[in-house]
Amino acid sequence: MWRYKLPGFAPRLLYELQKQQQCSVHCDILLQTQGVSIPAHSCVLSALSPVFCRAFSNASSLPIGQSRLVQLEAVGAHALMKLVGFMYSGEMEGESLDEQQEVIEIAYRLGFSNFMDGEKKQVNRHQNKTASWREIGLQTEETGERKNDASIQILSKKQTITHSSTQT
């Protein structure tokens, strides 16, 4: 039996994925909201969000080189860019606690709660109060209060797949 461990492998892998994402290399997903499109890898989204994992597992495979358009509703473009950057670096900076709160709220709404738990606690500590959090999953129906909904519509060349689930 033998074993080999490469020191620094995980950070190197993350760095390479981040470079690919920033250059749209091998990105098979375009996250779109408010007229902004952000390239991403479905494997990264699926690894970090059970919501995306379920949605992508129900979608048909695309030909190599094609991207799937994922339209997100009730999600701010700036906050989504921050969240995607965080997924590929493990780091996030912002100007205000309101901005941080918005990113964390979107992360929860899109199913990224497992890796954002530390951020949630940090926000609560900085605000010196306890926030009430609930996972609301995805909602594809029109409702009066859009801010509490996150909607994902997955589009491909031949079909449209809408994923919806609600958790309280």
pLDDT, tens digit, 9 for 90 and up, residues 124-156 = 444 433 333 333 333 322 223 334 445 566 654
Q: Which CATH number goes with the domain that contains 18?
A: 3.30.710.10
pLDDT tier for residue 167 given thresholds of 50, 70 and 90: very low
Distant-in-sequence, close-in-space partners of 5: CB < 8 Å, separation ≥ 6: none
Q: Is residue 37 part of a domain?
A: yes
Q: Is residue 109 part of a domain?
A: yes
pLDDT per position as a tens digit, 3-48: 999 999 999 999 999 999 999 999 999 999 999 999 999 999 999 9
Give me the chain's average pLDDT, please.
77
According to the model, what pLDDT value does residue 59 have?
86
Output the CA torsion sign for 40, 42, 46, 47: negative
Q: Is residue 1 part of a domain?
A: no
Helices and strands: H and E segment counts in the chain? 6, 5
Say yes or no to pLDDT of 161 above 50. no
According to the model, what pLDDT value does residue 26 have?
94
Distant-in-sequence, close-in-space partners of 90: CB < 8 Å, separation ≥ 6: 14
**How many domains does the chain contain in total?**
1
**By residue range, what is the domain housing residue 114?**
14-138+147-163
> What does pTM read for this prediction?
0.71
